[in-house]
């Protein structure tokens, strides 16, 4: 819960808007970096979670590399202080224009998702007389046990290269002069809360490294992606996720070669808890079956509940009355424009200010102007 002084300041700002707790962001970033450094691991922050300039500047200063999924993200990361040599670039559909930009920027790796993509990067690099460092993104066929829309490591998903293709891909890469294989890459999904999934991933990565050894390949880097989930139900109690236990799983279960560097691509776990969507109650509508709280923020501002039926804790910042049960909904003419069903919050009236918590990841970046609504602005705890 923000302090009384902060709530007084938030009340004066035009809603809806994103509010970022910068102290929490810095603390989270430092904890993640410190825990990773204990094992010599590198974290590339996944810009897709939040590519807000101020947040990126804080994270580049804290020592993160970057994980990008578009050329525009590469440009943004570089503008905000990330060293291009620490940028990994993923995505199933990199266009020629994007590959050109990435080559000109001098990034760390292209995480390649198919044979045609590798051939295309090779021919674009050849025209520039460059050699592109690449990783093969492996589809390890490991179930992340998370929402189907953010599961990426099953063979039915569009991502990566499967085991039956390894031989052909390795032979092809050996025949190409303008790409150099330096890493394998894995990313099996997002909002993973069952830590056993990461143990399973490690076991599978060990198997796959062995298969590559039989093909004569031992690589200097390994990238196990992101996916570490956060506690949406109890954001105050668990505002910083247990990075220590997470990295220990990899240290205990992964067989790295001597000198092989391990890379991560964490997004959500770094930025989710520091952000809230602040919205004002326009009306309270009492029905026979349900009481609705109608807010001025909508699914265009924060789409996760509509897209994934994601849960976000909601707090009424301006009421201390006893709690009541409401459906908390936005103003847009879609029944999916609903932030929470049967949520218990302090009794609410028109004009109250609500905080939709844990919205720092996949929130502001996914906002749209649907219904010609304005994009939400961002405010920061150290500037208001």
Catalog residues that contact ligand PLP under the rule CB under 6 A. Answer: 46, 48-49, 67, 90, 187, 190, 225-228, 265-269
Give the angle subtended at the CA of 355 by the CAs of 352 and 359, to the nearest 5°. 155
DSSP string, 112-134: E-SHHHHHHHHHHHHHTT--EEE
Rounded to whole angstroms, how far apart are CA atoms 278 and 346? 16
Rounded to whole angstroms, how far apart are CA atoms 25 and 35? 16
Classify burial at 249, counting beta carbons within 10 Å of its beta carbon; exposed 0-12, middle 13-18, buried 19 or more.
middle
Considering the complex, state which of residue 268 and residue 315 has its C-beta at the smaller distance from ligand PLP: 268
Backbone dihedral angles phi then psi of residue 264, each to the nearest 5 degrees? -125, 160
Considering the complex, state which of residue 269 and residue 316 has its C-beta at the smaller distance from ligand PLP: 269
Whole-number minimum distance, CB 190 to ligand PLP, in Å? 3
Considering the complex, state which of residue 187 and residue 304 has its C-beta at the smaller distance from ligand PLP: 187
Whole-number minimum distance, CB 365 to ligand PLP, in Å? 11
Structure tokens at 289: 């079956």
3-class DSSP state of 79: helix
Whole-number minimum distance, CB 221 to ligand PLP, in Å? 15
3-class DSSP state of 299: coil
Considering the complex, state which of residue 160 and residue 297 has its C-beta at the smaller distance from ligand PLP: 160
Whole-number minimum distance, CB 15 to ligand PLP, in Å? 27
Considering the complex, state which of residue 273 and residue 295 has its C-beta at the smaller distance from ligand PLP: 273
Considering the complex, state which of residue 63 and residue 331 has its C-beta at the smaller distance from ligand PLP: 63
Structure tokens at 16: 């809806």
Whole-number minimum distance, CB 249 to ligand PLP, in Å? 15
Considering the complex, state which of residue 230 and residue 332 has its C-beta at the smaller distance from ligand PLP: 230
Omega of the bond prior to 145 within 30 degrees of 0, cis? Answer: no
Q: Are the beta carbons of 302 and 272 closer than 8 angstroms?
A: no
Q: Are the beta carbons of 116 and 123 closer than 8 angstroms?
A: no
Whole-number minimum distance, CB 65 to ligand PLP, in Å? 12
Whole-number minimum distance, CB 265 to ligand PLP, in Å? 4
Whole-number minimum distance, CB 187 to ligand PLP, in Å? 4
Considering the complex, state which of residue 65 and residue 225 has its C-beta at the smaller distance from ligand PLP: 225
Rounded to whole angstroms, how far apart are CA atoms 201 and 225? 11
How many angstroms separate the Cα of 299 from the Cα of each of 25, 287, 332, 371? 24, 22, 7, 10
Backbone dihedral angles phi then psi of residue 124, each to the nearest 5 degrees? -70, -40
């Amino acid at each position: 819960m923000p302090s009384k002084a902060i709530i007084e300041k938030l009340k004066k700002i035009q809603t809806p808007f994103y509010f970022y707790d910068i102290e929490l962001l810095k603390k989270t970033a430092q904890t993640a970096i410190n825990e990773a450094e204990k094992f010599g691991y590198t974290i590339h922050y996944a810009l897709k979670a939040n590519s807000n300039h101020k947040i990126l500047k804080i994270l580049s200063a804290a020592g993160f590399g970057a994980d990008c999924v578009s050329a525009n993200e590469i440009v943004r990361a570089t503008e905000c202080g990330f060293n291009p040599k620490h940028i990994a670039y993923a995505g199933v559909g990199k266009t020629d224009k994007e590959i050109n930009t990435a080559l000109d920027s001098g990034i760390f790796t292209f995480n390649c998702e198919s044979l045609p993509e590798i051939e295309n990067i090779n021919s674009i690099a050849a025209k520039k007389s460059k050699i592109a460092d690449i990783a093969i993104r492996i589809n390890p066929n490991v179930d992340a046990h998370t929402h189907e829309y953010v599961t990426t490591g099953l063979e039915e998903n569009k991502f990566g290269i499967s085991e039956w293709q390894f031989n052909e891909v390795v032979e092809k890469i050996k025949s190409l002069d303008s790409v150099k294989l330096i890493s394998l890459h894995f990313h099996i999904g997002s909002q993973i809360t069952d830590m056993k999934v990461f143990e399973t991933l490690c076991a599978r990565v060990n198997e796959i490294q062995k298969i590559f050894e039989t093909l004569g390949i031992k690589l200097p880097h390994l990238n196990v992606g992101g996916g570490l989930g956060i506690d949406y139900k109890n954001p105050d109690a668990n505002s910083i996720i247990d990075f220590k236990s997470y990295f220990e799983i990899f240290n205990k279960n992964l067989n790295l070669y001597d000198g092989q560097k391990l890379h991560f691509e964490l997004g959500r776990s770094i930025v989710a808890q520091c952000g809230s969507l602040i919205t004002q109650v326009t009306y309270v509508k009492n029905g026979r079956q349900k009481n609705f709280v109608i807010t001025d923020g909508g699914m265009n501002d924060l789409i996760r509940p509509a897209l994934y039926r994601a849960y976000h804790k909601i707090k009424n910042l301006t009421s201390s009355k006893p709690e009541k049960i409401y459906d908390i909904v936005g103003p847009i003419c879609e029944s999916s424009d609903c932030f929470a069903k049967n949520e218990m919050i302090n009794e609410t009236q028109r004009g109250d200010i609500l905080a939709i918590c844990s919205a720092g990841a996949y929130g502001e970046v996914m906002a749209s102007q649907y219904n010609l609504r304005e994009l939400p602005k961002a405010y920061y705890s150290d500037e208001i």
